[in-house]
A = this chain, B = another copy of it.
Amino acid sequence: MRQLERLKNLIGVARGLGEPDLVLKGGQVVNVFSGEILNADVALYDGMIAGIGSYDGPKTIDATGCYIAPGFIDAHMHLESTMLSPPELAKAVIKHGTTAIMADPHEIANVMGIEGMRFMMDAARRLPVDIYFLLPSCVPATNLETSGAVLDAADLQSLRRHKQVIGLAEMMNYPGVISGNDEALAKLIALRGAVCDGHAPLLSGRDLNAYIAAGIHSDHECSELEEAREKLRLGVHIMIRQGTLAKNLKSLLPLVNKDNISNFSLATDDLHPHDLLAHGHLDHLVNMAVEEGLDPVGAIRMVTCNTARYFGIRDIGAVAPGYKADLLILSSLAPLCVRSVIKGGRILFDQGTLPVKTTAVASMGKMGQMGKMGRINIRPFKPEALAVPGAGKMIRVIGLVPDQILTRQMIVAPKIEGGAVISDVGRDILKLAVFERHQRTGNIGIGFVSGFGLKGGALASSVSHDSHNIIAVGCDDGDLFAAVKAIEKMNGGMVAVRKGKVLAGLALPIAGLMANGPLAEVAESWQELRRAAHELGSVLPEPFMALSFLALPVIPELRLTDRGLVDVNLFCHVPIFADA
């Protein structure tokens, strides 16, 4: 019985009778249980921590002058937002001390349903970072768009017992929950007993009570301190989010104190490649928290034991016997500086200070290619399909709001040419189109948007929340057409096009969401896309990010899906012509 033998050996190592695989000698161990920092050796065996105290072995790491902390856990992350394949993501974050991620594979689920989730779970299986999955609760996000898949309560029920699944991912449909929507509640019932993450920005008072009473355990959408205080008091585990777009750490951290800290975690939610490359991952968040005045052990708790306990996982998040040997050697605690990362007992990252060589780092290099997953499936169309025959005096235009995902509805006079409404570069009113790409329906939603500032060409992307149809903005139909065709050719991705020519592109062949290359390459392509968009005249700091949110019909005020414009406040489709 292999398991028994391994346990016996582990026990033997802990007792000092057997030989550890590795001993970290003389470090200062961050103790998340007592809140102390204590000098001790840490003996590892078979991927586990065998003992803390005084240990020796043939293979040691001198950790004198260093700190030893548990590996970090991201409490809520959409892997797809990094645009990296799971192996490349793992390679990118492990050097920042991340050893586990609580993932909501919401994006790929919208594109490919259970098949997409299984792909992610398979891809996650042999990675140097543990990825735990939560089941996406809102696929599709609305019935106002065409997604690639539908996940109903029965689907979730069928996946619940999967080894890698630990609960229900953010229940974004809080209006559905509190209004007693059958399908939303059926999903919560299907996951009864498991952890159910929440998502309820600014929900308050009795409605918040109702949402929580339905079985919601966490929230990562708090942006205001009083909002977080109210949720905390009602028993919600608060995930303080600090991602690329939503940054809540500074606002919320003043709420954290010794009486309540066990109810807090840190999470990135959506982290874009350039941000990950420039700032890192949870190490960056811990440093920010400490800069804001939190003690380092407290900050580390929010990315280790607090998160593990919230999710009910007993063997990660601490440096203690019987825990996974997921350990960080920090050359400095504040600011936190990761010298080496040990995952499951193997040294997977080292800043060149260790005498020990392992094959782990090398083998990580080979994990790379995931290939292609799914297919961009647009029904063939001609540029003429993009025409908007003139039929009214005023049109609805989606108005971008600087630094916000919110949009506002503008009502303006259209520019008409040859009997059709066209982009008006002078007034920065550009044509926006969403091409259904899952089921080959031929749906093309067309509208107009103001705020991109393009003077020519077009931008297009297969990343467009949450259904991830192809979205494109452009100055003329020819370039819109060319941009979409370019994405089709790459089997997903992002492009900037001028006069039919691709200026810059990033292929995202994995479900149209993720690239195959490493972080540096993806981040570089992203920069090139940004430069190209700016060359085309864009005035936005992140034009492709702005584009990716214009098809999201759950955030006010006006959006565009493959089925047409959506007035989010009315939660229904509206025509382009305001006077129609």
Instruction: Determine whether the beta carbon of B320 is less than 8 Å from that of A180.
Output: no
Within 8 A of B (CB), among A9-45: 10-12, 14-16, 31, 33-36, 38
A385 to B9, CA, bound (A): 49
Does A418 reach chain B (CB closer than 8 Å)? Answer: no
Contact flag A262-B262 (CB < 8 Å), given A14-B206, A214-B11, A235-B321: yes
User: What count of chain A residues pass the 8 Å CB interface test?
Assistant: 62
Contacts of A49 in B (CB 8 A): 213
Among B33, B206, B212, B217, the residue within 8 A (CB) of A263 is B33
Report A134 CB to chain B, min CB distance, Å.
15
Which B-chain residue is minimally distant from A9 (CB atoms)?
B180
Question: Measured between C-beta atoms, what is the minimum distance from A212 to chain B in Å?
Answer: 4
A206 to chain B, nearest CB (A): 5
- The answer to whether A15 touches B207 (Cβ under 8 A) is yes
- Within the complex, the shortest CB–CB distance from A285 to chain B, in Å, comes to 21
Known A52-B234, A188-B7, A205-B53; contact A260-B321, beta-carbon cutoff 8 A: no
* Smallest beta-carbon distance A413→chain B, Å: 44
Say if the beta carbon of A232 comes within 8 Å of chain B. Answer: yes
Which of B14, B35, B217, B260 sits near A209, CB closer than 8 Å?
B14
Q: Is A403 an interface residue (CB 8 A)?
A: no
Task: Kindly supply a per-residue 1/0 record for chain A positions 533-554, scoring 1 wherever the CB is within 8 Å of any chain B CB and 0 otherwise.
Answer: 0000000000000000000000
A205 CA / B262 CA spacing, docked (Å): 28
On whether the beta carbons of B15 and A51 are closer than 8 Å, the reply is: no
Is residue A68 contacting chain B, with contact meaning CB distance below 8 A?
Answer: no
The copy count of this chain in the complex is: 2
| CB-based contact B7/A320 at 8 Å | no
In the complex, how many angstroms separate the beta carbon of A295 from the nearest chain B beta carbon? Answer: 9
A354 within 8 A of B: no
Q: Which of A4, A210, A232 has the most CB of B within 10 A?
A: A210
Is A474 close to B, CB under 8 A? no
Interface: A323 (CB within 8 A): yes
Nearest chain B residue, comparing its CB with the CB of A318: B235
Whether, in the assembled complex, A440 has its beta carbon less than 8 Å from a beta carbon of chain B, the answer is: no
Q: How far is the CA of A205 from the CA of B36 in the complex (A)?
A: 18
A158: interface (CB < 8 Å): no
Residues in chain B near residue A205, CB distance under 8 A? 53
Q: How far is the CB of A560 from chain B (nearest CB, A)?
A: 32
Question: If A36-B233, A177-B11, A182-B4 touch, does A214 touch B260 (CB 8 Å cutoff)?
Answer: no
Tell me the minimal C-beta distance from A209 to chain B in angstroms: 4
- List the 6 shortest-distance A-B pairs measured between CB atoms, nearest first: A35-B259, A235-B320, A51-B209, A14-B210, A213-B321, A212-B321
Extra inter-chain contacts (15) besides given A7-B188, A11-B213, A50-B213, CB under 8 Å: A4-B189, A15-B209, A31-B233, A33-B234, A33-B260, A34-B232, A49-B213, A51-B206, A53-B205, A53-B209, A209-B321, A217-B314, A235-B318, A235-B323, A262-B262
Using CB atoms and an 8 Å cutoff, list the residues of chain A in contact with chain B. Answer: 1, 3-4, 7-8, 10-12, 14-16, 31, 33-36, 38, 48-53, 177-178, 180, 182, 185-186, 188-189, 193, 195, 205-207, 209-210, 212-217, 229, 232-235, 258-260, 262-263, 309, 312, 314, 318, 320-323
